[in-house]
Structure 1
Amino acid sequence: MTVTTEFLIRSPHLPFVGLAESLDSGQFECVHGLCLEHDARVFVVYLEPDESVTEDDLLAFDEVVEVTSLGRASGKDVYQVTIELADVVSEAFSPERFTATQMEPTVVTPEGWYEKKLFQHYEAFNGMRARCEEYGIDIDLISIAQNPSEDDESSQYGLTDRQHEALTLAISRGYYESPRQASTEELAEEMGISQPSMSSLLRRGERQLLTSTLGTEPDLNTLSS
């Protein structure tokens, strides 16, 4: 089960709020990777050309370290912006604490950041909100809705819900890092299943991903020769 959420993040430590305040429209879109790595400092910013914002204008903001123009896309001026991210923001959005997928670009306004994210379940969203509040970051929920379940056969890459959940958890906990940051026993405990069941879920999920990506079942005789 997954849930789609829309919420507003409020904190004086969020970057780019001052930029939104300076614009006639009072808002702009940006893309960032905080839901993937908590210390992501590179943002892609999309600005309306009639706002007449230059690279020097962006560099004038205290949090901005470097700006590179990427040209124009979909009628908007696009910039790659490296910022100095406040520690409270990077710690609050530590991705090993929760798993979320950004569904649309962040809309930055003088009030804060409007986000639309996909979470694995309600508890994952509540965990993210509780962690943010620990660091003085307010999360105002706008909407939350459970997504209809998909049949196993129609899920992306042919993974079952449990295989997808196991693989996603393993990735977020560093199971596939070198050296590994989590064991199958730890993952199994978090999912509330036995270690052999966890290993089986990962193994079958990995095989399904490989088969789906390669487009065919591998010829074992060929591979071993």
Structure 2
Amino acid sequence: MAITAEFLVNSPSLPFVGFAELLPSNQIECVHGLCLGRNSRVFVIYLDPADDVSEDDLSALDEVVETTPLGRASGRDVYQLSVKLEDMISEAFVPGRFAKTQIEPTIISPEGWYEKKLFRDYESFNNMRTHCDEHGIRIDLLSITQDSPPPDERSQYGLTDRQHEALALAISRGYYDNPRQATASELAEEMGISQPSMSNLLRRGERQLLTSTIEMQPQQTFQT
């Protein structure tokens, strides 16, 4: 049940956020993720020539360890930067900690990092958001969509696609935890439906799961 999530990462410790605010375009596009050490990364950034940023300007940034010009691509100046991350950021974004794939380059603006990534499921995304929150990094979800699950995964229990999606979201958000970590209204907002519709989806899905599970249990013979 892979999902695609668009979200904004916000923290004063994120690299290049302050620098983006100084640019006329207020924007830097980058690809990142290669780990050189515990708190070092390689970023490939794309800059609008109209921003008039030089190699010396980039090298002067506190977080930049090394600057390598790569030329120009699609009308933009491209640089490879070795970046030293603050401990909080390094610990929150350990490569390989969460099952995800970057779909589009990161857009850095004064508001933070805009990211669009593919996650294995809702739980994987939620775990990442919780982990970042524990490190003082805010994740603002902009949109989330789910790929259709394999037919055999839902048809085994007779669930509809929407019932399957609603139940998967409820589980990942802690709706069934004690105490509950999310309300039906919050789940409904994420799915873009009304609260009564969400409650109805959950109730019908729960009934279908219970009915299917009980029917699949082997009949027992009791002797008196």
User: 2:88 is matched by which residue type in structure 1?
Assistant: V
Alpha-carbon separation, structure 2, partners of 1:100 and 1:34? 14
In structure 2, the residue matched to 1:51 is 51
**What's the TM-score once normalised by structure 1's chain length?**
0.63
Alpha-carbon separation, structure 2, partners of 1:32 and 1:39? 13
Deviations 1:30-88 (A, max 9, x none): 000169x9745110000011111000111121111111100001111000011111111
Q: CA deviation at 1:95?
A: 3.7
In structure 1, the residue matched to 2:72 is 72
Q: CA deviation at 1:23?
A: 0.6
Asked if 1:138 is matched to 2:151, the reply is no
- Tell me if structure 2 keeps the 8 A contact 1:2–1:119: yes
Deviations 1:133-184 (A, max 9, x none): 01000000000010124689xxxxxxxxxxxxxxxxxxxxxxxxxxxxxxxx
Unaligned stretches of 5+ residues in structure 1: 153-225
Secondary structure, counterpart of 2:14 in structure 1: coil
Asked if 1:10 is matched to 2:10, the reply is yes
Secondary structure, counterpart of 1:45 in structure 2: strand
Q: Which has more radius of gyration?
A: 2
Secondary structure, counterpart of 1:98 in structure 2: coil
- Tell me if structure 2 keeps the 8 A contact 1:38–1:93: no
Aligned residues: 151
* Higher strand fraction (1 or 2): 2
Asked if 1:86 is matched to 2:86, the reply is yes
Asked if 1:128 is matched to 2:131, the reply is no
* % identical equivalent positions: 62
Unaligned stretches of 5+ residues in structure 2: 153-224
Secondary structure, counterpart of 2:82 in structure 1: strand
Q: Which runs of 4+ in 1 moved over 3 A?
A: 37-40, 149-152
Map of 1:130-209 to 2, 5 A cutoff? 130-149=130-149
- Tell me if structure 1 keeps the 8 A contact 2:40–2:84: no
Distance 1:116 1:34, change over 3 A: farther
Deviations 1:108-142 (A, max 9, x none): 00010000000000000000000000100000000
In structure 2, the residue matched to 1:26 is 26
User: 1:27 is matched by which residue type in structure 2?
Assistant: Q
**What's the TM-score once normalised by structure 2's chain length?**
0.63
Alpha-carbon separation, structure 2, partners of 1:45 and 1:5? 22
In structure 2, the residue matched to 1:61 is 61
Alpha-carbon separation, structure 2, partners of 1:100 and 1:38? 20
Secondary structure, counterpart of 2:33 in structure 1: coil
Alpha-carbon separation, structure 2, partners of 1:2 and 1:64? 35
Secondary structure, counterpart of 1:32 in structure 2: strand
User: 2:128 is matched by which residue type in structure 1?
Assistant: M
Map of 1:96-111 to 2, 5 A cutoff? 96-111=96-111
